[in-house]
Amino acid sequence: MTTDFEELVTETLSQHAARVTVRPDLSRLVAQARRRHLRTRLVTCSALGAATAASVVVAVGMAATVTPPIQVRTAAYVVSRSDQALTSVAPRSFVAVATTFGGNGLPASIFPIATSTRVLRTEYWSFGDRSRVEAFADNGKAVIGVGTQSGAVTTVTGAVYLSGTWWRALLPPGDPITVFRAARAPQCNVHAVLAAVLALANVYAELSPGWPEALRDVLACERAVATSRQVIDGERVIRIEPKVPGVDSAGVRIVSWVSASTYLPVRVLVTVQGTGPRSRWWQQEDYIWRRPSPANLSKLTQVVPAGFRRVAAPSFAIG
Amino acid sequence: MTEEVTPVPDQLIDHQLERLLADRGSHLLRTAVLLAGNHQDGEDLLQAALERLLRRRRRIEGSAEAYLRRILYNLAADGWRRGGAWARKLPLVQFSQPTAVPDLADAVDLRDALIRILWQLSPQQRAVVVLRYWEQLTEAEIADVLGCTEGTVKTAAWRGLNQMRKLAAPWLPAPAGVGPALTMKEGTS
């Protein structure tokens, strides 16, 4: 008999595993394992070699475990450091964001495709003025991939895997999120926070290099709260929770976790509790910050699969 | 008469393993991450399993994936890097007076707590829990993978799950609609 707790464990393991980002060059592990295997075989041929191998193994084993102790910081300090990190470090880092949508997910029609399919997860990669997003349905299959190159003219390329079609659009200067943000004064109240959250949730944010600023808006509101320490995916993080006037009564909860070493966001969770029985909605974003290596940068190119038919680009008007 | 065995060229084995990782790499890596505790250690664990597979490639009979998975789980159950990254005792989270109705943020906390609690189990218990609840294997199948008796599997599963339930109690929804509010103890490691 399966108990509720066993079901909870099963669900937890599945969700945790689903968040593991698998790099396309996984097969390099074979080459690395082979090199290590050959190296071990060589060094074990001599006593000196054996001693060297042992010291290497010890050194490798130790290196991965040493982490400096975390000092207690105030929420204001953490928010300030996060803001600095998003301003200075984020633009120089490649970031992968895995977003999971709660409940039945989001209608795939938030992307410029006509379908009744629902999106449960997106994967987003960004560096500099380039970004790409892929959306996945509940069966795990990719629905659409959209790559963006911003500049004097923003080029957007979409591959709709559902229909085997692709399109390319050229947008006028100014990315949608920057335009969206310019329409309001930055302030910390329920409307500003919800606007920032909606901007993060909105597909236009994911087509835009302006999303770190939207995230800064959310973090800036997170003041006068106690921080706490946790570990997410092996990384020490600091949890911060906002005290924004009006947000609680609006049934909105935003919790952020930032890295205890870099202060860059590791996770942002937004829950909205409406009044109806089916009006609860949540969205979890997991951030992975990396060097802009060639392998990582290759994620930013939207490849059009062979045989896809080109169609007219959809409208990108901001509603 | 002794049958002469033609050795399989190393390049062919590499190619087979690359194909295996291309086809099943996602699942194998996710399994390794669950066993190891985080992505980096998961990759290291999978690589260590591949390395061992290469060392023993001439012993492979049948499916290379099954053999690789067996190595993966046995490395995990044997406490691979016993003194290293995943033997760290992660700080436990305390909870204070119940003041709020638990919501989805608490559910996320609960899942995070369960994952951290999983890493506090013994390597064998963790391997059994992952095989049982992630791979959905039967006790007999788990015994086969780990090379132990069904009785050992049953004991490890029972103890592992009980331990998880006990440690997760503060996060589990309270009866009668009273939910615990979560505050965290500062890191004490």
* Total of domains in chain A: 1
Given a cut of 70, is residue A59 above it in pLDDT?
Answer: no
| CB pair distance less than 8 Å for A18 and B30 | yes
| CB pair distance less than 8 Å for A36 and B187 | no
CATH number of residue A98's parent domain: 2.50.20.20
The mean pLDDT of A158-169, rounded to a whole number, is 89
Per-residue DSSP letters for B45-107?
HHHHHHHHHHHTGGG--S-HHHHHHHHHHHHHHTTTTTTSGGGS-PPPPPB----S---HHHH
Strand pairing class (A142-149; A130-137): antiparallel
The residue among B85, B24, B86, B82 whose CA lies nearest residue B50 is B24
Question: Among B41, B46, B47, B51, which would you mutate to test the A interface (most chain A Cβ atoms within 10 Å of its Cβ)?
Answer: B51
**Whole-number percent of chain A with pLDDT over 90:** 4
B165: part of which helix (H) or strand (E)?
helix B150-168
Q: How far is B147 from chain A (nearest CA, A)?
A: 23
For residue A83, being part of any structural domain is answered with yes
> What's residue B189's pLDDT?
31
Which parts of chain B register pLDDT below 70?
1-13, 58, 79-107, 173-189
Given a cut of 70, is residue A219 above it in pLDDT?
Answer: no
Is the Cβ–Cβ distance between A177 and A131 less than 8 Å? no
Other C-beta atoms within 10 Å of A4: how many? 9
The residue among B33, B58, B32, B21 whose CA lies nearest residue A30 is B21
ipTM score over 0.90, yes or no: no
Given a cut of 90, is residue A213 above it in pLDDT?
Answer: no
What is the C-alpha to C-alpha distance for residues B175 and A8, in angstroms, rounded to an integer? 16
User: What token pair was written down for A19?
Assistant: 């968040």
For residue A55, being part of any structural domain is answered with no
Residue A98 CA: distances (Å) to CA of A124, A256, B38, B96? 6, 15, 16, 31
The structure tokens 């290293």 sit at: B84
> What's residue B79's pLDDT?
64
Closest A-chain CA to B93: A230
Closest A-chain CA to B137: A10
- Grouping H, G, I as helix, E, B as strand and the rest as coil, residue A141 is coil
Q: Across the interface, which of B22, B41, B108 has its CB nearest the CB of A284?
A: B108
For residue A165, being part of any structural domain is answered with yes
> What's residue B159's pLDDT?
92
Q: Looking at A32-41, A205-214, B32-41, B127-136, which range is the least confident one? A: A205-214
The mean pLDDT of A142-156, rounded to a whole number, is 82
Given a cut of 90, is residue A226 above it in pLDDT?
Answer: no
- Domain B1-87, CATH 1.10.1740 — does that match? yes
Q: Which B positions 166-185 lie with beta carbon below 8 A of chain A?
A: 168, 172, 183-185
Residues of B in contact with A32 (CB under 8 A): 47
Residue of A95 and A315 predicted with greater confidence: A95
Task: Kindly provide the residue ranges of all beta strands, DSSP E only, lying in B101-181, ordered along the sequence.
Answer: none
Question: Among B104, B138, B167, B186, which would you mutate to test the A interface (most chain A Cβ atoms within 10 Å of its Cβ)?
Answer: B104
Question: What residue segments make up the domains of chain B, in order of their start?
Answer: 1-87, 89-189
> What's residue B99's pLDDT?
34
What is the C-alpha to C-alpha distance for residues A23 and A299, in angstroms, rounded to an integer? 10
What is the C-alpha to C-alpha distance for residues A127 and A110, in angstroms, rounded to an integer? 23
Domain of residue A306 covers: 75-310
> What's residue A306's pLDDT?
92
- Side-chain half-sphere of B131: how many Cα atoms within 13 Å? 28
Residue of A265 and A3 predicted with greater confidence: A265
CATH number for the region B89-189 comes to: 1.10.10.10
Max mean pLDDT among A102-116, A166-180, B97-111 falls in: A102-116
3-state helix, strand and coil shares in percent for chain A, rounded to the nearest 5: 35, 30, 40
> What's residue A305's pLDDT?
92
| CB pair distance less than 8 Å for B104 and A9 | no
Question: Among A1, A7, A8, A238, which would you mutate to test the B interface (most chain B Cβ atoms within 10 Å of its Cβ)?
Answer: A8
> What's residue A97's pLDDT?
80
Residue A263 — pLDDT band, cuts 50, 70, 90? confident
The pTM (predicted TM-score) of the whole model is 0.50
The mean pLDDT of A5-17, rounded to a whole number, is 83
Residues of A in contact with B104 (CB under 8 A): 102, 253, 269, 271, 280, 282
Q: How far is A277 from chain B (nearest CA, A)?
A: 14
| CB pair distance less than 8 Å for B84 and A20 | no
Residues of A in contact with B21 (CB under 8 A): 26-27, 29-30
Residue A192 — pLDDT band, cuts 50, 70, 90? low
Q: What is the pLDDT of residues A61-76, one digit of tens each?
A: 333 333 333 333 466 6
